[in-house]
A and B are shown apart, each in its own frame.
Chain A
Amino acid sequence: MIAELRILPPLAIARFGGAPTPMDNYDAIVDPEEPLGYRRLQPVETLEVDVDSGEIARAFVPERLSFSEGGEVRPVAPFLELWALTDGGQLEPLTIALLQDAGATPAHVRWRVQVANRKAARRTGDEADRIEADSGELADHARHLLDGRCANFWPGKSIPFGHVQYVKPSAAHPQVRLRFTPAAGNVYGASRTRPAAGRPADPNVTDVVYDGRRGRWLGHVDTDNTSTVPAFIYRGDSEGRSVGYLDDGCDGIVRASLTVAGRTLSAFGRVGAGPPTYAPDALPIRSVADELEQALFGPTVTPSEATLERVEEIVRRAFETVRLMNTAAMNRGGMAAHDRGTGRRADPIMAPALVDDIAVENLHQSLLAALRSGSAPWFADALRDFDEIGDLSDRGRRKMPAMMRGADGRHLTLTRRQIDLIRTLVRGPVFTDPGGEAT
């Protein structure tokens, strides 16, 4: 018997794309033959949804991966699966059979998706700048547009945030799931006069939607020093005034409900949409996943969680991040230039001889190689602590991760949990005997 419902994954991140076919599924794996190289993208089982019927037409493993189609980026369109916690405490996929056991059918499952883009509203403080879309309750298998509407838009204007589709369970694919397909990744404009029909004059803009007479976003200037939102990272004119651009990114809540035996069960998950990954074989040194892990499990690790493999993964991500940086340029610009505004001249962060891109990349590769020997990490003290992000002394600026900015505009730091993982191993034995026993 179904006791509770869950949506898995509880957080799904879509990526923009204008191509009609969503991106195929793949893993990014470390090639054992080239452990210091790029991750290898390996195609894995992909579900193809028939747009009209809403059923899964086929499950296949692509022969090769292609990130674009007809010159457009293929969107990453995640599935949100509905799972059931049964009376036996088992978590299992909700299927046609499980529904039947409960006296229900897939038609009894109700979905609702509410997403929003509040980027402008967060800066202007005007609730009327919130752009929101609501699928309404749905139980059919058609595509439902997520039409982003805003009180400060011109009449009849909206921003499409993509669409959702309740995938129709079938005998071959009996599981209950919903697919979120994000928008294309377009930019929308603002005007103080009613926009004319046809293509906007601004080539960056897909449509002019925002009424600059009604709202404050067009011409807005950041003045709130207490805001945690990084200031002025919107398109502005020479005076820093917003030109009124908006995008079709969004995030929000997916809800599912099911009434069985007179009891309504429900679950919710979260979706978000962001830019495509243009370096899919690399992972950033710090990601939302790290934040969530820290929020869920706390800032410290247990001894059993402190493994060399996890440290290696952090170092690998550091290497992959460095690989995408022009370290020589960042040593003079980037955070080095940023520090100028906080009392330091634009001094280079590192000794200039040390920041050659390839040399820095190679150094990280040698770290990776050494860690694979079973030798404990030794570089915990080189890491920047959370309370050192504003330390603009040479020693503070040279800590790792170096030359990168965190969300608060200060030097980037790893999460406390990531640092604790490394520190735990540093305090442990220097060598792990080849037999596996730590010594």
Chain B
Amino acid sequence: MLRQSPAGDAGLEQARLAGVEPASPPPPELSGRDYAIFLLRLAAEVEHGLMVQYLFAAYSLDGRNAPAQADVRAWQETILGIAKEEMGHLVTVQNLLTALSAPLNFNREEFPHDTVLYPFGFRLQPVGLGSLATYICAESPADWDDAEALEIKARAQIDAGTPVNRVGALYAELLRVLGDATLVADRDFDPLSVAFQASWDEWGRGYREGQRGAEAMSGLPQLPAPELLIREVGSRAAALDAVEQVGEQGEGFETPVDDNASHFRRFLAIYRGMKGLGDGAADVVRPLATNPTTDLEGPDIGGPYDPATTTPIVHEQARLWAHLFNLRYRKLLVNLSHAFELSDDPGDRTTLSPRGALIHRTFSEMYNLRAISGQLVALPIDGAQPDGPRAGPPFQVPHTLMLPSDEGGRWRLHRDVLDASAAMIERLRDDGPAGGRAYVAALAQMDAIERGQIEQLIAGSGRMPAATGAPAS
């Protein structure tokens, strides 16, 4: 059903220009604004899930035995770049939620997989034609229906177990809802919330206009470097622009003019390259276990993994690394969500808030996840099968991602995660290969420094402590 929006509404005009229709009524029990929030929270989960699965896939690639090693390294970097862009989408979606005064969502797996707006069931698995087909379908445009599309869709359905839904449908629906002033009013977009939102200047790390990420992709010069979209939203027009940009980068509402910019095209290029390897494709992928988990009993406390495909990590050292990985993953999410609780006061250029430190620490944890993944992909998942599948990063969702309501409580949460991490580090310090020991020794010192700062924040002002000379040890 078509609804008439207030005449002259800029958002509606933008939606019309984007080729979308005004929204249908929201589902029962949801107001228009609430429906927009529902969709955004779902989008956050989808982006988060895709980012994690793509990271796992990228870390599974291994160019040692590839006939064209440079290509495999470029595939890996391309997928890492897409994961970074999903991170940008996730952050932009949080900005949209902030603009609507809605609760943020850094969780995963809260929504049923069988909704038509959810692309496919979450699964950490090494790169293969099946998984690539799934990613391609999830990121595909609506009008993709050539012979290759049929082949890939069929392969994706086998891999995912169900038909794969397009992420683009979710963004098209968002565009419709946010563009309809009868569903979401102009006053629902809070311009003052921008101070609490993530900006590209703070979070972009230079990933724009091909400035970063191209170096390791020299084997695939036709594919673009990552482009982080982080949009601040203070109005309907900005919201629609953000949703359109994010959707366009994923798959495009139509076949993109700039072919290779979309995730769809980039995954398709890797799929074709891998298919060209024939039987040799298996030689460029590490034999990582599917859905590795530290839970020996089955699905972990964090999420509804499919018990039929979950692989417990039983190798003792790999389990320690996996626990450490989960803790750092949690720490990343806590840093990220905490940063959204602190404003960037543009009028205050003299007082530094912990917001910047939390942003830096979020990136620090990304470095840690990469470092620990390097250990995990080399370790067997089961000590009894030293040549069997390798463990991989488990990305298990923590028991809660809710932040305490007061700053003191939030810093105590940071301290708790560090303390749990310290216990794992202590067990890893004297064991394992030299690279791992050197890393955890440095990580222990890094955490001790941070813990000292957190103690000061708990005890004091909530501001970053002043320089005190030598780092704590």
Binding site for B on A (CB under 8 A): 32-38, 328, 332, 348, 350-360, 362-363, 365-370, 372-375, 378, 380-382, 394-395, 398-399, 423, 426-436, 438-439
B443 at the A/B interface (Cβ < 8 Å)? yes
Looking at the complex, which of B156-164, B170-178, B201-209 is the stretch in contact with chain A?
B201-209
Q: What would be 26 A-B contacts, judged by CB atoms less than 8 Å apart?
A: A33-B441, A37-B470, A38-B471, A351-B202, A351-B344, A353-B352, A353-B353, A353-B355, A354-B360, A366-B361, A369-B439, A370-B371, A372-B439, A374-B374, A374-B439, A378-B370, A394-B201, A395-B209, A426-B215, A427-B218, A429-B64, A430-B374, A431-B378, A434-B432, A434-B433, A435-B378
Instruction: Determine the chain A residues whose CB is within 8 A of the CB of B368 once the complex forms.
Output: 366, 369-370
Chain B proximity of A65: nearest CB distance (Å) = 16
* A358-B453, A423-B215 as given contacts; A370 in contact with B360, CB under 8 Å: no
* Chain B residue contacts of A358, Cβ below 8 A: 357, 453, 464-465, 467
Q: Which of B357, B435, B453 is the most central at the interface, judged by chain A CB atoms within 10 Å of its CB?
A: B435
Q: Given the interface contacts A366-B446, A381-B215, does A429 sit within 8 Å of B377 by beta carbon? A: no
B449–A36 contact, CB under 8 A?
yes
CA distance A423 to B206 in the complex (A): 17
Within the assembled complex, what's the spacing in Å between the Cα atoms of A351 and B209? 19
Query: How distant is the Cα of A426 from the Cα of B70 in the complex, in angstroms?
Result: 12
Q: Taking A35-B438, A328-B352, A353-B202 as contacts, is the C-beta distance between A362 and B360 under 8 angstroms?
A: yes
B144 at the interface (CB under 8 A from A): no
Query: Do A381 and B355 touch (CB < 8 A)?
Result: no
Find the B residue at minimum CB distance from A36.
B445
A431–B438 CA distance with the chains assembled, in angstroms: 15
Residue of B nearest to A331 (CB): B349
Contact A359 B464 (CB under 8 A): yes
A236 to B59, CA, bound (A): 59
Extra A-B contacts (16), CB below 8 Å, given A363-B363, A426-B216: A34-B471, A35-B441, A36-B471, A37-B470, A353-B202, A354-B360, A356-B352, A362-B449, A366-B364, A369-B371, A369-B446, A370-B439, A373-B371, A375-B374, A431-B378, A436-B435
Residues of the A chain whose Cβ atoms lie less than 8 Å from the Cβ of B206? 381-382, 395, 398-399
Question: B445 contacts A35, CB within 8 Å?
Answer: yes
| List of A residues within 8 angstroms of B434 by Cβ | 434
Which B residue sits closest to A423, measured CB to CB? B215
Q: Which residues of A contact B64 (CB under 8 A)?
A: 429, 438-439
Given contacts A360-B360, A435-B433, contact A395 B76 (CB under 8 A): no
Contacts of A395 in B (CB 8 A): 206, 208-209, 211
B435 to chain A, nearest CB (A): 4
Q: Does B73 contact A (CB under 8 A)?
A: yes
Chain A residues near B109 (CB, 8 Å)?
none
Residue pair B371, A375 in contact (C-beta under 8 Å): yes
> Within the complex, which residue of A352, A368, A380 is in contact with B215, where a contact is CB–CB below 8 Å?
A380
Q: A353-B352, A439-B378 are in contact. Are A362 and B450 (CB under 8 A)?
A: yes
Interface centre among A36, A365, A366, A375, by most chain B C-beta atoms within 10 angstroms, is A366
Distance in Å from the Cβ of B319 to the closest Cβ of chain A?
16
The B433-461 residues at the A interface (CB cut-off 8 A) are 433-436, 438-439, 441-443, 445-446, 449-450, 453
Flag if B357 contacts A431 (CB, 8 Å).
Answer: no
Known: A374-B435, A381-B213, A399-B206. A362 touches B442 (CB 8 A): no
Bound Cα distance from A369 to B379, whole angstroms: 20
Tell me if B439 and A373 are in contact (CB < 8 A).
yes
B372 to chain A, nearest CB (A): 7
Determine whether B184 belongs to the interface, using a CB cutoff of 8 Å to chain A.
no
Shortest CB-to-CB span from B424 to chain A, Å, is 15
Q: Which residue of B lies closest to A422 (CB)?
A: B215
A439 to B73, CA, bound (A): 10
A422 to chain B, nearest CB (A): 9
How distant is A355 from chain B, measured CB to nearest CB, in Å? Answer: 7
Q: Return chain B residues, CB-CB under 8 Å to A370.
A: 367-368, 370-371, 439
A-B interface pairs (CB < 8 A), number: 182
Q: Which of B218, B286, B357 contacts A359 (CB 8 A)?
A: B357
Q: In the assembled complex, how far is the CB of residue B321 from the closest CB belonging to chain A, in whole angstroms?
A: 10
Choose from A352, A365, A432 the contact partner of B449 (Cβ within 8 Å). A365
Given known pairs A35-B442, A353-B344, A374-B374, the reply for A430 and B59 (CB within 8 Å) is: yes
Q: Does B16 contact A (CB under 8 A)?
A: no
Scan residues 315-365 of chain B and give those whose CB is less than 8 A from a CB of chain A: 344, 349, 352-353, 355-357, 359-361, 363-364
Q: How far is the CA of A433 from the CA of B214 in the complex (A)?
A: 24
Confirm or deny: B385 has a beta carbon within 8 angstroms of a beta carbon on chain A: no
Contact between chains at B73 and A429 (CB < 8 Å): yes
On whether the beta carbons of B445 and A34 are closer than 8 Å, the reply is: yes
Q: A224 → chain B, closest Cβ, in Å? A: 36
Contacts of B445 in A (CB 8 A): 34-37, 365, 369
For the complex, is B199 an interface residue (Cβ under 8 Å from A)?
Answer: yes
**Alpha-carbon distance between A125 and B13 when the two chains are bound, in angstroms:** 69
Contact A382 B473 (CB under 8 A): no
What separation, in Å, do the CA atoms of A295 and B394 have in the docked complex?
Answer: 47
- Mask: chain B, 365-394; 1 = CB below 8 Å from A; 0 = not: 001101111110111000000000000000
User: Which A residues touch B473, using CB under 8 A?
Assistant: 33-34, 37
Nearest neighbor of A437 in chain B, beta-carbon distance: B64
- Roughly how many angstroms separate A435 CA and B434 CA in the complex, as a whole number? 8
Q: A353-B352, A360-B360, A398-B206 are in contact. Are A372 and B438 (CB under 8 A)?
A: yes
Contacts A366-B446, A381-B212, A430-B59 hold; do A32 and B441 have CB atoms under 8 A apart?
Answer: yes
| Those of B398-439 within 8 Å (CB) of chain A | 432-436, 438-439
Shortest 4 CB-CB contacts between residues of A and residues of B: A434-B433, A366-B364, A373-B371, A369-B442
Contacts of A438 in B (CB 8 A): 64
| Contact residue among B344, B357, B435, B470 (Cβ-Cβ distance under 8 Å from A356) | B357
Residues of B within 8 A of A430 (CB): 59, 73, 76, 370, 374
B205 nearest CB neighbor, chain A only: A382
CB <8 Å contact, B374 and A431 = yes
A419 → B minimal CB distance (Å): 10
Partner of B63, one of A332, A351, A426, A429: A429
A373–B435 CB distance below 8 A: yes
Contacting pair A381 B371 (CB below 8 A)? no
Tell me whether B215 and A427 are in contact (CB under 8 A).
Answer: yes
B62 on the interface (CB 8 Å rule)? yes
Tell whether, in the assembled complex, residue B357 and residue A362 are in contact, meaning their CB atoms are under 8 Å apart. yes
CA of A372 to CA of B444 in the docked complex: distance in angstroms?
13
**Chain A: which residue is nearest B219 at the CB level?**
A427
Inter-chain contacts of B216 with A (CB < 8 A)? 378, 426-427
Cα A370 to Cα B453 with chains together (Å): 20
Residues of B within 8 A of A32 (CB): 441
Q: Would you give the shortest CB distance from A18 to chain B, in whole angstroms?
A: 27
**Closest A-chain residue to B445, C-beta based?**
A36
| B453 CB contacts on chain A under 8 angstroms | 358
CB distance from A33 to the nearest CB of B (A): 7
Chain A residues whose CB sits within 8 angstroms of the CB of B361 once the complex forms: 359, 362, 366
Cβ contact within 8 Å between A434 and B375: yes
> If the complex has contacts A359-B357, A374-B435, A434-B378, are A365 and B441 also in contact, measured as CB distance less than 8 A?
no
Chain B residues near A35 (CB-CB < 8 A): 438, 441-442, 445
Chain A nearest CB, measured from B211 CB (Å): 5
Residues of A within 8 A of B355 (CB): 353
Q: Which residue of B lies closest to A308 (CB)?
A: B435
**How far apart are B210's CB and chain A's nearest CB, in angstroms?**
9
Complex Cα distance, B62 from A430, in Å, reads 9
Q: Could you tell me the distance between the alpha carbons of A374 and B375 in the complex, rounded to whole angstroms?
A: 9
Determine if A432 and B360 form an interchain contact, defined as CB atoms under 8 angstroms apart: no
CA A362 to CA B364, docked complex, whole Å: 9
Give, as a whole number of angstroms, the nearest-CB distance from A38 to chain B: 6
Whether the pair B359, A353 counts as a contact (CB closer than 8 A) is yes
